[in-house]
């Protein structure tokens, strides 16, 4: 799946009202982890390609930046690499970094949406097995994917809107409590006691 869809799905998952974990997951960090596998895999190669093109040293036979991207793609898209790193951060922080699950979400979404042209090495380096799924670049899948994203974000927007309206009604329905009158400060009665 392409990087923008990864960011949007991660945002939707992190902002869902259904809480799987007790700790609140910050959606911005969750989305950043969700796009990090592609950033780490392709950003260095793209940077090298731009450098070579800008300074005029690129040639039709120079494909080093493509090789760099392929070398980084395997470890960044492997659940076998993700799991021990997630556990290590858990041990160091003494609590899980739930936002890192965006990384695993990226891998899980890539497995069925990558064809034989670029399958996901989710078991690297233990196994070379790769699931052959459909290509996310097909226009039918792109249309379905972004339509589903539109529906999900509309549902989330409606939920947040109803939540705000309910909170506003609750605040308006609470009556102002009368301040308590201190003892002995009540109104004086007329006609005090007469002396003989």
Tokens (6 digits) for 5: 């869809």
Quick check: 41 and 2 in contact, CB under 8 A? no
Mind listing the pLDDT tens digit of every residue in the chain (196 residues)? 999 999 999 999 998 877 666 677 899 999 999 999 999 888 877 777 777 777 766 554 455 555 566 788 999 999 999 999 999 999 999 999 999 999 999 999 999 999 988 899 999 999 999 999 999 999 999 999 999 999 999 999 999 888 888 877 777 766 555 455 555 555 555 555 444 4
Quick check: bond before 45 cis, omega within 30? no
Q: Is 50 helix (H, G, I), strand (E, B) or coil?
A: helix
Alpha-carbon distance of 39 to 32, in angstroms, equals 10
Which pair of structure tokens corresponds to residue 32? 């950043």
């Amino acid at each position: 799946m392409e990087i923008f869809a990864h960011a949007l799905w991660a945002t939707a998952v992190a902002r869902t009202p259904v809480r799987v974990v007790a700790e609140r997951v910050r959606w911005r960090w969750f989305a950043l982890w969700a796009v990090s596998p592609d950033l780490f895999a392709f950003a260095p190669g793209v940077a090298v390609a731009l450098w070579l093109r800008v300074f005029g040293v690129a040639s039709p036979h120079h494909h080093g930046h493509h090789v760099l991207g392929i070398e980084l793609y395997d470890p960044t898209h492997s659940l076998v690499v993700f799991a021990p790193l997630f556990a290590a951060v858990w041990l160091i922080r003494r609590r899980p970094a739930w936002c890192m699950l965006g990384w695993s979400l990226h891998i899980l979404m890539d497995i069925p949406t990558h064809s034989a042209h670029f399958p996901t090495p989710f078991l690297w380096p233990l196994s070379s097995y790769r699931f052959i799924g459909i290509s996310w670049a097909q226009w039918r899948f792109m249309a379905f994917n972004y339509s589903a994203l539109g529906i999900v974000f509309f549902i989330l927007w409606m939920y947040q809107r109803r939540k705000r309206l309910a909170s506003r009604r609750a605040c308006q329905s609470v009556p102002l409590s009368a301040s308590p009158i201190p003892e002995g400060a009540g109104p004086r009665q007329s006609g005090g006691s007469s002396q003989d």
